[in-house]
A and B are shown apart, each in its own frame.
Chain A
């Protein structure tokens, strides 16, 4: 149901009472936002529905509160899917949440992330007014790319009302293969296998390297031969667990983003993206980022992230200038700074 007017009224009311707006959807990724006691949660959860879907054009436009599982079911019926395979932290997760969080699954290095599949957006700006950017077409270079600027902005630049997405046909075959090994052998395989035709995931968790093939039936044998000895077909469950971060841990969860060939060290819980993404669990920030990677505090052991110091370099200052330019009165929440201050 279209809730645009109601949502706009709530945002206007918050602005007039000088309360900070904190956009939300299904509430499955609350931990990504810093605590803000005085902020008003404005939820898009009721603002759901598919606005149009043209499978032969590979484009779908949905309201932001549409649940991801509903979107995925609709696409699946038409033999298509969302290639960025966002993580699921619960069935209530919405398309707006996927876009605001900008988190992509294991296919990220091979087919791209969330922003690579977002074509257009309608949103309530921090002024309370409604604006639209991008469109329902694959190629569009009119104006700055405000649509993609909002991907991963965590609702700091506005409340997303509609999203147009590029989708793709489901490959003929999708098969995961597993190999039991230690992390350093896993990394050697990951580096050696980077160019395999049809490779769509390469992850490591619980002592098992997980490699996924997607493509035609005909090319599957060649892929299996190229993988080499020891790999056996396994279910999708292990890869889904890496995607959804459902591996067991009780401490804070930190992500490391860096070069695939950086040495594997520390208390690794999982690797993804062919080694470009690594997960660590510990009570304090891991000090092993090196110059080939960046550590980010991703999920606290409980509750939500505390406010951290802003990224202090020129890029951080420019990001802050962009935020201020688009939300002069600070009507929407700030972007949480996720780097440890030390």
Chain B
């Protein structure tokens, strides 16, 4: 609960819609990670930067924690409300402020959706490259906070690589501009640091994105393989051939079947693994490029090969992949989406280990994979109404993350840590490394009021979780209380 003093102060702010009615607040109780819900005591929807700033100052002066939220599509609980904090919705900041076709940039407010940017600049022959599957709904401010990816990261990079400037507001209301005058600035790269900071360092209040010319020609190849190993080898072969596809995605048998049943994309149901390879470039080169990649895929043992070069056929092939999550949602009451990244050479071993865990926990798993950049999304199928299944799914998920770490990967490639993977952070980082993160946080937000309890675990939490790394036989920071 928030005290009446704070609530009444917030009520005084012009241009701040306060949601106090419980039935309306309930909408905000979780983000895309619905397994964790917390009713927010109060929701504020500012309609101007001044209102936002005043709200932040009031909270800051009274020591009230704050959680920023865009569209609430995040998958790791980064926007889960706090029981004693203000939830700040930034969706009303949804204007595109400026499109500069010469510099090929767009300056937008944080609540603009990812897809709206590409739509707005299409008439100028440009597009914004990162395309998370939730792009129809997710906001650019949230994309920055999570450093979101998508299926085109291999060639075009993550959000980080496609943002040239940010305006942020710190917890105390101070506004700072990072980057943007040119392509280089002296001093520490705070612009990079803000990406993936999950709302803990500052609120994103304006984003200048870099745009790219829409490629003249695009084609999509779909290849079916009799096992995932062969498909993984084909991915390596494409890259070894010197080709950098715009997208390179893999799905396993269960994901293929669920997607095909759902959207009838024309996927090969007899295949154990499917590759979708998107190529783009100029009209002059695309046909030759496609021929070359088809030859590589065939040499790598593709059992079926289909090319879709017109827009409708391409969209049909991608639909199955982009709808893979809801498709899997149709074959089980619930699914738990994981997000590890691994060095791709270990794919076969990692998939085998995941299959082993699937048998162990008695829960099926479907795998969707950004194969080009090693980002794995195992979807664990379960029934949340069965508390035993729910617990098994959670344990299975934790095992998947441990497997990713064991093979030199990371616990999150693009969905963020949030609340979901905060304990696994204790596995990926030493106490020393976590202390560095806390130091960065203290420089931006000394009062610790922005999104506390997310993304970076306290050392005490790790000690309780019992997963503090011990390196070379010596525990780091033995002076810290652990039990």
Measuring CB to CB, which residues of chain A are less than 8 angstroms from any residue of chain B? 54-59, 79, 102, 104, 108-109, 112-113, 115-116, 125, 127, 129, 131-133, 135-146, 148-149, 151-153, 156-157, 168-170, 172, 191, 194-195, 197-198, 215-216, 218-219, 221-222, 255-261, 273, 276-277, 292-294, 296, 311, 314-316, 318-319, 321-326, 335, 337-339
B195 x A145 contact (CB < 8 A)? yes
Q: Does B285 contact A (CB under 8 A)?
A: yes
**Given A137-B409, A294-B182, CB of A215 within 8 Å of CB of B285:** yes
Which of A129, A294, A315 is the one whose CB lies under 8 Å from B176? Answer: A315
Contacts of B375 in A (CB 8 A): 137-139
A137 x B429 contact (CB < 8 A)? no
**Given A125-B432, A139-B374, A143-B425, CB of A149 within 8 Å of CB of B186:** no
Closest A-chain residue to B161, C-beta based?
A116
Rounded to whole angstroms, the CA-CA distance of A246 and B477 in the bound complex is 49
Rounded to whole angstroms, the CA-CA distance of A129 and B436 in the bound complex is 11
Rounded to whole angstroms, the CA-CA distance of A144 and B414 in the bound complex is 13
**Given A141-B196, A172-B242, A198-B282, CB of A323 within 8 Å of CB of B432:** no
Contacting residues of chain B (431-448) with chain A, CB-CB under 8 angstroms? 432-434, 436-437, 439-444
A219 x B343 contact (CB < 8 A)? no
Task: Add 10 more A-B contacts to A257-B182, A326-B440 (CB < 8 A).
Answer: A55-B239, A58-B239, A131-B433, A139-B413, A144-B196, A144-B456, A145-B196, A149-B440, A219-B281, A318-B170
A197 x B282 contact (CB < 8 A)? yes
Rounded to whole angstroms, the CA-CA distance of A335 and B437 in the bound complex is 20
Binary interface encoding of chain B residues 276-289 relative to chain A, with 1 for a CB under 8 A from any of its CBs, else 0: 00000111110011
B417 x A144 contact (CB < 8 A)? no
**Given A133-B433, A169-B244, A318-B176, CB of A276 within 8 Å of CB of B183:** yes
Contacts of B236 in A (CB 8 A): 56-57
CB distance from B444 to the nearest CB of A (A): 7
B182 x A293 contact (CB < 8 A)? yes
Rounded to whole angstroms, the CA-CA distance of A172 and B125 in the bound complex is 26
**Given A79-B242, A142-B411, A143-B425, CB of A115 within 8 Å of CB of B192:** yes
Which of B184, B201, B417 is the one whose CB lies under 8 Å from A277? Answer: B184
Q: Select the stretch in B87-95, B145-153, B301-309 that faces chain A.
A: B145-153
A195 x B125 contact (CB < 8 A)? yes
Binary interface encoding of chain B residues 227-259 relative to chain A, with 1 for a CB under 8 A from any of its CBs, else 0: 000000000110110111000000000000000
CB distance from A193 to the nearest CB of B (A): 12
Contacting residues of chain B (377-422) with chain A, CB-CB under 8 angstroms? 408-417, 421
B104 x A315 contact (CB < 8 A)? no
Contacts of A137 in B (CB 8 A): 341-343, 373-375, 408-410, 413
Rounded to whole angstroms, the CA-CA distance of A135 and B416 in the bound complex is 15
Binary interface encoding of chain B residues 253-281 relative to chain A, with 1 for a CB under 8 A from any of its CBs, else 0: 00000000000000000000000000001
A135 x B409 contact (CB < 8 A)? yes
Sorting the interface of chain B by its residue count into under 10, 10 to 19, 20 to 34 or 35 or more gives 35 or more
Contacts of A152 in B (CB 8 A): 188-189
A112 x B157 contact (CB < 8 A)? yes
Contacts of B157 in A (CB 8 A): 112, 116
CB distance from A341 to the nearest CB of B (A): 14
Rounded to whole angstroms, the CA-CA distance of A189 and B409 in the bound complex is 45
CB distance from A75 to the nearest CB of B (A): 13
Closest A-chain residue to B434, C-beta based?
A143
CB distance from A148 to the nearest CB of B (A): 4
Contacting residues of chain B (178-215) with chain A, CB-CB under 8 angstroms? 178, 181-190, 192-193, 195-197, 201, 213, 215
Rounded to whole angstroms, the CA-CA distance of A323 and B190 in the bound complex is 11
CB distance from A221 to the nearest CB of B (A): 7
B436 x A131 contact (CB < 8 A)? yes
Q: Does B158 contact A (CB under 8 A)?
A: yes
A143 x B158 contact (CB < 8 A)? no
Rounded to whole angstroms, the CA-CA distance of A167 and B387 in the bound complex is 46
A146 x B242 contact (CB < 8 A)? no
Rounded to whole angstroms, the CA-CA distance of A257 and B187 in the bound complex is 14
Rounded to whole angstroms, the CA-CA distance of A129 and B432 in the bound complex is 8
CB distance from A268 to the nearest CB of B (A): 15
B428 x A136 contact (CB < 8 A)? no
Rounded to whole angstroms, the CA-CA distance of A142 and B217 in the bound complex is 35
B183 x A108 contact (CB < 8 A)? yes
Q: Does B458 contact A (CB under 8 A)?
A: no
Closest 10 CB pairs of A and B: A257-B182, A138-B373, A139-B413, A148-B192, A56-B236, A169-B242, A325-B443, A321-B443, A325-B439, A219-B285
A260 x B103 contact (CB < 8 A)? yes
Could you write out 17 A-B pairs with CB less than 8 Å apart?
A: A136-B343, A137-B343, A138-B341, A139-B149, A139-B158, A145-B160, A146-B437, A149-B189, A152-B189, A197-B213, A219-B281, A255-B184, A294-B185, A311-B187, A318-B170, A335-B187, A338-B186
Closest B-chain residue to A221, C-beta based?
B284
Contacts of A197 in B (CB 8 A): 213, 215-216, 281-282
A218 x B288 contact (CB < 8 A)? yes
Which of A112, A216, A257, A273 is the one whose CB lies under 8 Å from B161? Answer: A112
A318 x B444 contact (CB < 8 A)? yes
B161 x A319 contact (CB < 8 A)? no
A143 x B195 contact (CB < 8 A)? no
B239 x A151 contact (CB < 8 A)? no
Which of B189, B289, B412 is the one whose CB lies under 8 Å from A140? Answer: B412
B189 x A115 contact (CB < 8 A)? yes
